[in-house]
A and B are shown apart, each in its own frame.
Chain A
Amino acid sequence: NAGVTQTPKFQVLKTGQSMTLQCAQDMNHEYMSWYRQDPGMGLRLIHYSVGAGITDQGEVPNGYNVSRSTTEDFPLRLLSAAPSQTSVYFCASSYSGVGGEKLFFGSGTQLSVL
């Protein structure tokens, strides 16, 4: 049961560097999303996708890009890292069915931008 797999778990970047956070799910969920968690702020939505080829912005999209070429994968790209992007990032996938809705999170990526 892989569920939602996020890599890497930890990353340190220098200001201006770019990188991609990987997210994959094996549950055939249509909906995937990226959140960031900052102290005292709860989780905030960065980008989300309702299916392959469809993405949209969330609450805090600036500085991030996403794409969804397959149902399974939803990578998050930091174009030019800034210290304000130091955070813990969570990928999630979700479904709605009998028994209600569930949203499953990956294990998180702790990112530090120096």
Chain B
Amino acid sequence: AQKITQTQPGMFVQEKEAVTLDCTYDTSDPSYGLFWYKQPSSGEMIFLIYQGSYDQQNATEGRYSLNFQKARKSANLVISASQLGDSAMYFCAMREVNSGGSNYKLTFGKGTLLTVNP
């Protein structure tokens, strides 16, 4: 079974509108972390936002927020006021504490390609 599922291969949004990118995860560990990364066409991986499983509030970083619904095992990324520069591939990832007895082994989803239209 996939640990990270991103069901939207591609998404389109109009400039200045908000968009939600979906991510569901599967783990039996009580302690885990969820990450979102942006990969523009230039190829680098840019850290966007992090949510810990014990965090009481949803994480926010500027125009990015994470809609964390623990019971549903979802960690959707919300981008407000989309900009043309937001066009990129977006990856959701999960870090499990007890995976192999070590931290920082991230499992990535297959990504969502976001296109922002002018």
Contact = CB atoms under 8 A, between A and B. Distances in A.
A48 interface: yes
A44 B110 CA distance: 10
B40 to A, nearest CB: 12
A42 B109 contact: yes
A60 to B, nearest CB: 12
A93 B42 CA distance: 20
Interface of B: 4, 33, 35, 37, 43-45, 47, 50-52, 55, 59, 91, 93, 95, 100, 102-111
A53 interface: no
B100 A44 contact: no
Contacts of A96: 103
Interface of A: 31, 33, 35, 40-45, 48, 50, 56, 58, 88, 90, 92, 94, 96, 100-105, 107-108, 110
B105 A101 contact: no
Contacts of B50: 100-102
A48 B104 contact: yes
B103 A108 contact: no
A92 B103 CA distance: 13
B110 A107 contact: no
B110 A50 contact: no
A48 B43 contact: no
Nearest to B110: A42
A88 B43 contact: yes
7 contacts: A33-B105, A42-B4, A42-B108, A43-B91, A58-B105, A100-B52, A101-B104
